[in-house]
Structure 1
Amino acid sequence: MIDVADNAELIRLTAAEMAAKLRAGEITSVELTQAHLDRIEAVDGGEKGLNAYIHVSGEEALATAAEVDAIRSAGGAEAEALHPLAGVPIAVKDLIVTTGQPTTAGSKMLEGWMSPYDATVVEKIRTAKLPILGKTNLDEFAMGSSTEHSAYGVTRNPWNIERIPGGSGGGSAAAVAAFEAPLALGTDTGGSIRQPGAVTGTVGTKPTYGSVSRYGAIAMASSLDQIGPVARTTEDAALLHELIAGHDPKDSTSLPDEVPAFGEASRNQSVEGLRIGVIRQLQGEGYQSGVLARFQESLDALKAAGAEIVEVDCTSFEYALGAYYLIMPSEASSNLARFDGVRYGTRVTPEEGPLTIERVMGATRAAGFGEEVKRRIILGTYALSAGYYDAYYGSAQKVRTLIQRDFDAAFETADVLISPTSPVVAFPLGEKLDDPLAMYLNDVATIPANLAGIPGISVPGGLAADESGAELPVGIQFLAPAREDARVYQAAGALEKLLNDGSQPLWAQIPELESQEA
């Protein structure tokens, strides 16, 4: 029996364990939600706090929790009909619109903005009665790999508060890693769920494009963006994925598929006879030795468990990074045109000169957007301009087709593909802020999946030391063909079990935040 007075024990349960204890009546949702709110208050604020949350919604979360408890206490058909995750708290990336809470996209452009509607995934969470703890920090408009580009301050990695938590969804990953939430929602455009998962020791999934509704996610690059789950275990991610997946008529790109049993797939944990393809282009130069060592150990464990390890050659991946950083800024420059001080967001009035729409737009965008957003808008506008469209954007789309063909060929010889999620462990805050190209290289292993629209997952692969000797989490990525998300959960669940056999899972080994030196 859990001692509800011991918040430290309560918040360290997995989401599946929390759900089981709620259904059994061993704990209440109010106790569970309050424990997480207390944790947020203890570690998130202050000069050296994690800053995982932009906004905390304690009253709303506790009201939802109390409603769940009342339904369970009353029993009957309504209690039987509760979703299995009802009462388990969740955090939402602040790129996903919610009623009753601000949605800022990490930008001054939307400071204090209140959405008049809920995103489809938020509707599903509210219907299932998961208390929403608040909105998590991110790189402004999801543009970044370190959560250092937020207008509301940097988020810190709970494994080492002087390190980045990844990006753009570092807030969601840090909150889950630091036990400030058992579950969270993120968005993944080029790795923004998986890369933060890798460097914080959490699990992050990018679903098949179109399998989870994007309605209500503030668009950065519409052909790449995808909402997905953030959790501490593969099973927890799978259970949340089941909840948010499914066709949505409000999203024109939504797939009409039935939602598979992802939770069951995550518990299968068998790789006997599974063909696992090692991508030749996603290892070697640029990857830290510790990352490659943990990757090889994962391969060895999978092979010993009966998997067939094959090498696959995806030659076009060499150009994936360049293609992505033409397609994504091009789509972003179009999507962000609406934030102009007239239609959406804040408005800045020029201090001098005539008051024209053009000057208001210029002043608003200059003040409302951060440097990285401006950089990508300029790059995208240039790539789409007359005389350059075919040379840049058109060529990038041709590379995208080649990448999709490489994946098709690879999946003829392999059931799933595997690679390190990130070439490096979490780097120090500020180290790459002045070098955008070095920052962009963090996405080299995750970008191909977004260009092809296929599912991917990052699971913890152990700890590795960087050049300074700091031991930090490593992520292992699995990829599968489109619509075969269950395969990544099966492979990831198997690796998770193999690596945790006889030892604590990585997420349980996180240092006490109070003991870390500034």
Structure 2
Amino acid sequence: MTDLTSLTIAEARDKLKAKAFSATELTQAYVSAIEAANEQLNAYVMPTPDKALAMAARSDERLAKGEAGPLEGIPLGIKDLYATEGVHTQACSKILKGFEPRYESTVTANLWADGAVMLGKLNMDEFAMGSSNESSCYGPVKNPWRRKGSNVDLVPGGSSGGSAAAVAAHLAAGATATDTGGSIRQPAALTGTVGIKPTYGRCSRWGIVAFASSLDQAGPIGRDVRDAAIMLRSMASVDPKDTTSVDRPVPDYEAAVGRSVKGLRIGVPKEYRVDGMPAEIEALWQQGIAWLKDAGAEIVDVSLPHTKYALPAYYIVAPAEASSNLARYDGVRYGLRVPGKDLTEMYERTRAEGFGREVKRRIMIGTYVLSAGYYDAYYLQAQKVRTLIKRDFETVYADGIDALLTPATPSAAFGIADQDMASDPVKMYLNDIFTVTVNMAGLPGIAVPAGLTAEGLPLGLQLIGRPFDEETLFSLGSVIEEAAGRFEPAKWW
């Protein structure tokens, strides 16, 4: 029998229904894989094998009765940002030490209602702030990919690095992730997996630890486009507990996979050709254009003139919202508490010890740009720029463009504790250069593996769609996937 952990969600679902194996056998295979590999990769911060096997047993009962849900018996990893009832939820921060919520996030509740099985909580950048998964209080996640002939540990991208690494290394059939400025698409691109950030409002944010509320969005990371489509259908819903979630039907995304893209007009934005972009990224982009042309799509050069302001505007808006959202962590009601001689000192000590360096940096930036005298100069200006970025996309789509094709990242995975990145936070922030515009405009974006570098590392292409038109992204993504083929890392762990 094929190794059960090598099956995609779609393959496992069909074989479970055909009774080729049980949900318990499938889950046990993943539990064993996690036990064998997690010490090396550090993808899970809290495996939940007992819970997983109990959920799998219930799935087997439903499968036997013919009452299988769309994800019945499928073992998933959950990013540590999602509240899971009675299970460690820490956002990989010391300040939430020991926190076990008494409620379930809406997205994970949707997954369990559809029969999915929880393998555990996945590592991530602290409070989802980072592009390399190095700011976690549990230490960095290692990318399952390595350069040819090298044993240097690489980052898996961030903030959903644990999610991407677990899926790439077959430690989960799929994983939940979140994207505030590229935290689904960038790690997917760096690990050879597929990640989609849906339209803002497509998935409920209730029960997900907030970073920047007007930018955060839940989404899946899967091994291929079909798996991402299957997961998103279960994750998406309207939710009265999240007033930003949108009340519109959830399409059958899987049906869009493999659909013809003939006649679709694909925009190629000239502003995404940035200075110093590696030749490999440019060549990959041209290859993607050729694949879509061959599939019958029309390629159109377009302009998004305010793109150059997106990254600086994002790094004002996101920290401003973070400084407001993270004010609730004060050592009073839950999580870490460091005693002090009075309430103020207790706050100060708890936050000093509880928050990591990157989180403190963003809180300070955010508090600064919201302060009297600077609010108009920075925050208000950034919001005006955001409106212009959104208008650029609206103009392009009004001209009959169906989607945009861009690179997903400016480079392949870099080394853990890379001195160049560690000494210059701005260099690290530039990893989000192709992804932040999508969050600023609230649009859907998907990253699909499209090729390997000369050193054998995966690179991804990004497709950006119209609001609530994830189906077109799945259709176009499957064209790229079909042409590029599937990529798997050589096992070293």
TM-score (norm 1): 0.92
117, 124, 132: which one aligns with 1:146: 132
Distance, in Å, in 2 between the alignment partners of 1:185 and 1:236 is 12
Tell me the equivalent position of 2:442: 453
Answer yes or no: is 1:235 the counterpart of 2:222.
no
Distance, in Å, in 2 between the alignment partners of 1:41 and 1:150 is 21
Extract unaligned runs of 5+ from structure 1: none
Contact 1:283 / 1:419 at 8 angstroms: preserved in 2?
A: no
Answer yes or no: is 1:472 the counterpart of 2:457.
yes
293, 296, 299: which one aligns with 1:306: 296
Secondary structure in structure 1 of the residue aligned to 2:459: strand
Q: What does residue range 48-447 of structure 1 map to in structure 2 within 5 Å? A: 49-73=40-64, 75=65, 79=66, 81-160=67-146, 162-268=153-259, 270-350=260-340, 355-411=341-397, 412-431=399-418, 432-447=421-436
Tell me the equivalent position of 1:19: 13
Contact 2:452 / 2:459 at 8 angstroms: preserved in 1?
A: yes
Contact 1:338 / 1:344 at 8 angstroms: preserved in 2?
A: no
The count of aligned residue pairs is: 485
Contact 2:63 / 2:72 at 8 angstroms: preserved in 1?
A: no
- 1:287 Cα deviation from its structure 2 partner: 2.1
Contact 1:291 / 1:424 at 8 angstroms: preserved in 2?
A: yes
Instruction: Deviation per CA, 1:448-492: give whole Å up to 9, x if none.
Output: 000000100000011013xxxx32110110011111111111111
Distance, in Å, in 2 between the alignment partners of 1:511 and 1:286 is 30
Tell me the equivalent position of 2:490: 511
Query: Residue type of the partner of 1:237?
Result: A
Contact 2:76 / 2:116 at 8 angstroms: preserved in 1?
A: yes
Contact 1:247 / 1:257 at 8 angstroms: preserved in 2?
A: yes
Distance, in Å, in 2 between the alignment partners of 1:88 and 1:427 is 32
Instruction: Deviation per CA, 1:262-311: give whole Å up to 9, x if none.
Output: 1101231x221111111111124232211221221111111122111111
Distance, in Å, in 1 between the alignment partners of 2:72 and 2:275 is 46
- 1:513 Cα deviation from its structure 2 partner: 1.9
Could you tell which deviates more after superposition, 374-383 or 153-162? 153-162
Query: Residue type of the partner of 1:72?
Result: L
- 1:122 Cα deviation from its structure 2 partner: 1.1
Contact 2:166 / 2:172 at 8 angstroms: preserved in 1?
A: yes
Query: Residue type of the partner of 1:39?
Result: A
- 1:343 Cα deviation from its structure 2 partner: 3.2
- 1:100 Cα deviation from its structure 2 partner: 2.4
Secondary structure in structure 2 of the residue aligned to 1:209: coil
Contact 1:91 / 1:184 at 8 angstroms: preserved in 2?
A: yes
TM-score (norm 2): 0.97
Distance, in Å, in 1 between the alignment partners of 2:63 and 2:356 is 47
Query: Residue type of the partner of 2:240?
Result: P
Contact 1:204 / 1:457 at 8 angstroms: preserved in 2?
A: yes
Contact 1:286 / 1:423 at 8 angstroms: preserved in 2?
A: no
Distance, in Å, in 2 between the alignment partners of 1:182 and 1:290 is 30
Distance, in Å, in 1 between the alignment partners of 2:114 and 2:195 is 21
Distance, in Å, in 1 between the alignment partners of 2:61 and 2:112 is 16
Distance, in Å, in 2 between the alignment partners of 1:322 and 1:72 is 51
Could you tell which deviates more after superposition, 58-67 or 490-499? 490-499
- 1:15 Cα deviation from its structure 2 partner: 0.6
Secondary structure in structure 1 of the residue aligned to 2:306: helix
Contact 2:264 / 2:402 at 8 angstroms: preserved in 1?
A: yes
- 1:12 Cα deviation from its structure 2 partner: 0.8
Distance, in Å, in 2 between the alignment partners of 1:122 and 1:271 is 32
Query: Residue type of the partner of 1:307?
Result: A
Distance, in Å, in 2 between the alignment partners of 1:438 and 1:314 is 23
- 1:66 Cα deviation from its structure 2 partner: 0.9
Distance, in Å, in 2 between the alignment partners of 1:441 and 1:71 is 47
Distance, in Å, in 1 between the alignment partners of 2:107 and 2:426 is 33
437, 458, 463: which one aligns with 2:452: 463
- RMSD across aligned positions (CA): 1.1
Instruction: Deviation per CA, 1:328-369: give whole Å up to 9, x if none.
Output: 00000000000011134210013xxxx211110000000000
Contact 1:426 / 1:472 at 8 angstroms: preserved in 2?
A: yes
- 1:128 Cα deviation from its structure 2 partner: 1.5
- 1:374 Cα deviation from its structure 2 partner: 0.3
Query: Residue type of the partner of 1:262?
Result: Y
Contact 2:143 / 2:155 at 8 angstroms: preserved in 1?
A: yes
Distance, in Å, in 2 between the alignment partners of 1:332 and 1:284 is 28
Secondary structure in structure 2 of the residue aligned to 1:315: coil
Secondary structure in structure 2 of the residue aligned to 1:11: helix
Distance, in Å, in 1 between the alignment partners of 2:319 and 2:330 is 17
- 1:246 Cα deviation from its structure 2 partner: 1.4
Distance, in Å, in 2 between the alignment partners of 1:202 and 1:112 is 31
Aligned residues with identical type, % of pairs: 48
Distance, in Å, in 1 between the alignment partners of 2:328 and 2:62 is 43
Distance, in Å, in 2 between the alignment partners of 1:260 and 1:13 is 25
- 1:391 Cα deviation from its structure 2 partner: 0.4
Secondary structure in structure 2 of the residue aligned to 1:149: coil
Query: Residue type of the partner of 1:485?
Result: E
